[in-house]
Structure 1
Amino acid sequence: MPRGRYLLHDPADGTPLGEEHFQCAPGPTGWRYVSRLDDPAGRPTGAVDLTLDHLGRPIRLDLRSGDWQVRGAALDGVTWVRMATTGEQATEGNAAARAFTGASPAFAVATAHLLRLTPEEPSALIRLVALTPPVLAPRTHDESWTLLGTETHPTDSGPLTVRAYQVDDQETGERHTVHLAGDVVLAAPGIELADLDSPPSPTIAATPGE
């Protein structure tokens, strides 16, 4: 069960945005990621609780940022309720998308697992609902993911497999690269892995019988 800490910063100018203290673990039917977000002064600013099924679909999302909260799941596409943390101003939403995305590294791991790209089928287009701090207003958009390559590095705890993905936002044309090792983001725009107390899980989840 990896536990660690990500440093978050503005990918445009490097301004520190805070830290995300996380833990994640695969289970017999899926994968769960929980985290606490703090601002640069150490004050709590939000939290992430994401559970995937064995296919990588979000079966439970509880996302908090400032005064806002979103709860969602894969249902008729994806369905969510956005509200103030007081429970007021609740609005429901639904979109013909496959999953959620946002600022947390958890979403990059989740999308990569959902797509399961291989050298034989290295690219895919996916529709996602983005929930971005500080107000978590939903925005549906398409991303193209391409597996650029896989490298294996020797470590004290055994071989570490790192996968590099190119991500293209089909609406804005923005392009970036994400490096993943199992269920941990090693590097991505605005994300730096600062601490990790145990090796990443080599796989996020396994289909029963695999």
Structure 2
Amino acid sequence: MKIILATKNKGKIKDFEKLTDKMDIEVLSILDNIDFPDVVEDGKTFEENSAKKALEIAKYTGIITVSDDSGLCVDALNGEPGIYSARYSGEDGNDEKNIEKLLKNLSDVEKNDRKAHFVSVVSIAFPDGTVKSFRGETQGEILFEKEGNNGFGYDPVFYSYDLEKSFGVATIEEKKSVSHRGRAFEKLKKEVLEKL
């Protein structure tokens, strides 16, 4: 069975391939030169953006599609950067600039008030219009400066309560064992993929 993974992120593609290992699923992505439209993520929540992306591509291609929308939510910033995590420092921003802006916005915030969590909502859509979404979270807090260079995005400034270290110094396997995306994907696997 073929499933499209609606992402350009090679890390997410590898994660999903590992997750579906030993299952009768062929994972297709943009790396396989499949033509699918760019979906405007104009939802107000991770759920809305994730479901919209999966549904539009499933209808366009006629193939079951999985997508994820994820981000970092910081309590002291009322949940920011949230759904705008990837473009927090502007459309031309990057990981470095996003981290810089986040640390600047938290510069007056004490350690006890720097709680944060990563969210991932993974959706699976079928060409008939059926969509199911699964949410995963991982808890932690924002450090005062970067620790390590592993991972991507905000990982170097996110201290994981599960691992008792920054995602920036965690190994890929460690991060995967507690990650928001891993938790959402596991729910998807148990609730849907293993029953297909």
TM-score range, shorter chain: 0.3 to 0.5
The structure where helix makes up a greater share of residues is 2
